[in-house]
Structure 1
Amino acid sequence: MLKRAQSAVPAIPALSMARAQSLAEQAANAIVAGISAGALRPGERIIETELASLLNMSRVPLREALKILEAQGILESFPHRGTRVATFDDVRVNQICLARIALERLALVDAASICKRDPAVLARLDQIIIDMERSAERLEWIEVSKADLSFHREICRLSGNAIVATLWEALARHVFIVFGHEIRDERDAKIMGPQHRRLRDLLAKGDVEKLQREIENHILRLRRQRPDAVRASR
């Protein structure tokens, strides 16, 4: 575990989690980055002493981080077995995607109205897409995933719906792990920018009906390329 965990440490900023200021939140982000990258595998035991040393922090904030991730279902604790990485199988990934679709559909209704009324608010989305495309050209998938997460977080923020934004944020770490598990290659890189630009343009037009359809296709695109993954949710 020690060798694999080391690869997770440099990826702490990859999540770009909102309000991640405390040591506990930073540690939680590092663990999630490790899971997303495959450095920490499903069922693998979390050894506090090793992680505390790698993250250069005391075990107090690390234990708080473990509690945060356990509460979110990313880690699991068992008597006499310690804390382990939860399994992200097809059933669970499908559940995460469906929950995300429900939340983002709600956010898009208000966000579309605001963007149509004031196109200037789209500037942040435009910059995120530019950053995403640059990272995709270099096949830097951690940075692409970071930008992808930021794009959808910004939509929730633009909606002004604090409840949706809070619920989406609680799901964000799960989404980042899903990004890491999805197969991404050079072909996929070429469509990352256009996909998100289409969502951006529909927001600018305030076309809620098309947005509602597009967001589902966008989130489930890679899942639908795997019929076995879709069947797992039934």
Structure 2
Amino acid sequence: MTDNARRRSRERLEERERGILDAATKLFATAGFHATSTRKIAAAAGVSEGTVFHYFGSKNELMLGILDRFYNEVLNPRAAEILDTIMDTRGRLRALAMHHVSSLAADNALMMRLLQVYVGVDLEILGQDKQSPLRDLNRSYVGHLDRAVREGVERGDLRNNLETRPLRDLFFGTLEYGLRTHMYRHGTEGLDAYVDALLQPLWEGLSNSDSPATPTELLTERLEKACERLERTSERWEKS
């Protein structure tokens, strides 16, 4: 077989794999994981059911393939690019936030629905006492936020008593909750402005101030205050 023939063969195989993943993505997000059979996926992808099993051994492997592609082809590359091209700490956090919500909101928040589906399947199949493959994917992705925060602290833009794990939960949790409520009422219209409104009180709680922090000004207290401001902001937007 010539090099060109090998390349064309590889491209056909990769195209078929993408077609299967695309079909499974739509069906899992719309019909649900358990209601979607491999036969339906095969029909939507235009291949035989045996071909689906040739590429993916089970529906769970298909789900992992979808999420792996989302993290490694969509989330991680752009997040890395943001950190390499934007040096301002606040600008970095805003760009990471906009990238996160726009990626989840794409195609009517299809990926957000799919992640919610997988969490239930993940707990059911693996059990809560076992390591989740999704955790590994998340770890690589949230590392970009960790870097932005670490370098922000080093530059003096952010407080030096920030704890990584609660900060991650606050950042991503706020964005994903806000995305759900905003899209329910407004779709993607005005999403940029809404993200800015969510980030403002968060930034106020994280940024360094001119006056030094007192010993009793603990991170948990500041996060609670930031959450209160976020809730008030969300209520104002929901009434608009």
Report the TM-score when normalising by structure 2. Answer: 0.31
Larger Rg: 2
Report the TM-score when normalising by structure 1. Answer: 0.31
